Amino acid sequence: QEREQFGKPIADFQGVQFMLADMAMQIEAARQLVYHAAAVSERGESSATYFGAAAKCFASDVAMKVTTDCVQIFGGYGYVKDYPVERFMRDAKITQIYEGTNQIQRIVIARALMNGTSGASK
Domain of 46? 9-115
Residue 2 in any domain: the answer is no
Residue 57 vs residues 1, 62, 72, 92, 96: alpha-carbon distances, Å = 32, 9, 23, 12, 7
**Which CATH number is 19's domain given?**
1.20.140.10
Residue 34 in any domain: the answer is yes
Q: What are phi and psi of 115, to 5 degrees?
A: -100, 5
Query: What contacts 80, CB < 8 A, 6 or more positions away?
Result: 86
28 catalytically annotated = no
Query: E strands, 1-122, where?
Result: 4-5, 8-9
CB contact at 8 A, 50 and 109: yes
Q: How many separate domains does the chain show?
A: 1
Q: pTM above 0.95?
A: no
Q: pLDDT tens across 29-77, in order?
A: 999 999 999 999 999 999 999 999 999 999 999 999 999 999 988 887 7
Catalytic residue among 28, 42, 86, 99: 99
pLDDT band at 6 (very low <50, low <70, confident <90, very high): confident
